[in-house]
Amino acid sequence: MTTTDSRAAAAARALFAERFGAEPVGTWSAPGRVNLIGEHTDYNDGFVLPFAIQHRTHVALAPRADGVFRVRVASTFDDTTAELAVAELAEVFPERRDEVPEWARYPLGVAWALLAASGTDPASVPGVDLAFASEVPVGAGLSSSAAIEGATAVALADAWAIHLDRVALAKVGRRAENEAVGAPTGIMDQMAALLGRADAAIFLDCRSLEAEVVDLGFADAGLELVVIDTGVKHSHATGGYGERRAACERGAAALGVPALRDVTLDDLPRLAGLVDDVTFRRVRHVVTEDQRVLDTVRTLREQGPTAIGDLLVASHASMRDDFEISVPELDTAVEAALSAGAVGARMTGGGFGGAAIALVARDRVQAVSDAATAAFAAAGFAAPTIFTVTPSAGAARD
Ligand code: GLA
């Protein structure tokens, strides 16, 4: 239970009253996330190190008292109120998802996947109304989608008395994203939204789904985590993300292993003779990135956050050169941050736009921000949005 009452929670309650003409029974929320390191490793059964941020998506909810078995969803980021009968969810998802407004596929997809995962008879649960408001910037690579999924999952689990653990709820979110939305993403974002802890990152083994809390200690080390949102929008339901995933699967198949998690640096010379250069570089990114996650966790534990800068920089170079998911705006943000004295910097999230992160000494934050703004102006890019984030708690009733 969080004690703070944010503006977004109030906005969710106000929207609920406006659209549904009633009062919600409560609000629930889930955070966006920043991935500190471990990019495009999750769907390769590898390692990731994300943390939940203070920006949250709130949902106001009430079970319907009128005996109508429908799920209705409204949000401050879209004018349409969408609805489906509870019994209809399993008919619409996944094949007929195009009939549902795009944004509503996230919450309605979670409703569908939650009933399926828990084996709940749709006829046994009441209809519900949900109204969303979010502080998580959309398209910034901070996982606004997992925040909606996480908030919906904990709210509906309470409303429908469904008892699933956090990992099961994360899988519900991923299924909604993969099948109801159609984005072939991994499980990192949902795990971060559900398992986040204040001042800590989640070290996740994406094969076993075992999660360890790793203290970050940014504040004690006098560091801030700066987000530089390039404003370049991306979607993982189309194009590049799926192509990268397919290349990884080709690489694993060529080596005869279930996933790139099973490939070591020593296997790379053998792979070079088996696949084309592009596939080889995609695999090399994933294999080296897995190792960088393990090295980052060890370094954080042994030496603290000031020592992880080179690993962040190497991760960015690998995404730029081998995985080819950076864009000029992200490279500019990283270079500007480093030139202004950041300890380390890299793009975060799926790529093709979104945000870069920079780990920065508190007294250099303004200099890094000024440098990024100036570099964007000099390159003719629209001004970036720059803010700091704090490692924060995961999904909860407010
Ligand atoms: C997106 C996906 C995640 C992960 C990252 C890249 O955020 O949702 O599952 O694959 O991209 O690391």
Q: Which fold has domain 215-389?
A: Alpha-Beta Plaits (3.30.70)
CA of 23 to the centre of ligand 1 (A): 36
Q: Cα separation of 260 and 63, whole Å?
A: 44
Q: Is 317 helix (H, G, I), strand (E, B) or coil?
A: helix
CB of 299 sitting under 6 A from ligand 1 = no
Domain residue limits, the chain? 3-33+54-196, 215-389
Plot region of 67 (φ>0 → left; ψ -120 to 50 → alpha; else → beta) = left
Can you give the length of the chain in residues?
398
pTM for the whole structure: 0.96
pLDDT in tens, the chain (398 residues): 343 558 999 999 999 999 999 999 999 999 999 999 999 999 999 999 999 999 999 999 999 988 899 999 999 989 999 999 999 999 999 999 999 999 999 999 999 999 999 999 999 999 999 999 999 988 888 999 999 999 999 999 999 999 999 999 999 999 999 999 999 999 999 999 999 999 999 999 999 999 999 999 999 999 999 999 999 987 776 689 999 999 999 999 999 999 999 999 999 999 999 999 999 999 999 999 999 999 999 999 999 999 999 999 999 999 999 999 999 999 999 999 999 999 999 999 999 999 999 999 999 999 999 999 999 999 999 999 999 999 999 999 99
Residue having the nearest C-alpha atom to atom 5 of ligand 1 = 350
DSSP β-bridge partners for residue 75: 78, 132
Domain 3-33+54-196: CATH architecture, name and number where available: 2-Layer Sandwich (3.30)
CA of 317 to the centre of ligand 1 (A): 18
- DSSP output for 3-32: ----HHHHHHHHHHHHHHSS--SEEEEEEE
Q: Where are the alpha helices (DSSP H) in 160-239?
A: 166-175, 188-195
41 is in an annotated binding site: yes
Which one of 39, 142, 185, 315 would you pick to mutate in the ligand 1 pocket, going by the greatest count of ligand atoms within 8 A of its CB?
185
CA of 298 to the centre of ligand 1 (A): 23
Plot region of 49 (φ>0 → left; ψ -120 to 50 → alpha; else → beta) = beta
3-state helix, strand, coil in the chain (%, to 5): 45, 20, 30
The CA-based dihedral angle spanning residues 199, 136, 41, 337, taken in that order and rounded to the nearest 10 degrees: -70
- On the question of a common fold for 3-33+54-196 and 215-389, the answer reads no
- Alpha-carbon torsion 158, 236, 196, 229, what sign? negative
Q: Please give the sequence-ordered ranges of beta strands (E in DSSP) within the chain, or none if there are none.
A: 26-35, 47-48, 50-63, 70-75, 78-85, 128-134, 200-205, 210-215, 223-229, 344-347, 355-361, 385-389, 396-397
58 is in an annotated binding site: no
CB of 46 sitting under 6 A from ligand 1 = no
CB of 188 sitting under 6 A from ligand 1 = yes
DSSP β-bridge partners for residue 61: 26, 130
CB of 190 sitting under 6 A from ligand 1 = no
CA of 9 to the centre of ligand 1 (A): 27
CB of 349 sitting under 6 A from ligand 1 = yes
Q: Where are the alpha helices (DSSP H) in 229-276?
A: 240-255, 268-272
Of 5, 45, 79, 189, the catalytic one is: 189
CB of 189 sitting under 6 A from ligand 1 = yes
CB of 39 sitting under 6 A from ligand 1 = yes
Beta sheet of 200-205, edge-to-edge order = 47-48, 200-205, 210-215
CA of 204 to the centre of ligand 1 (A): 13
142 is in an annotated binding site: yes
Q: Cα separation of 294 and 61, whole Å?
A: 40
How high is the pLDDT of residue 262? 98
Q: Examine the residue annotation and report whether 189 is marked as an active-site residue of this protein.
A: yes
How high is the pLDDT of residue 5? 59
Which one of 36, 106, 187, 189 would you pick to mutate in the ligand 1 pocket, going by the greatest count of ligand atoms within 8 A of its CB?
189
149 is in an annotated binding site: no
40 is in an annotated binding site: yes
Give phi and psi for 328, each to the nearest 5. Answer: -55, -35
How high is the pLDDT of residue 2? 43
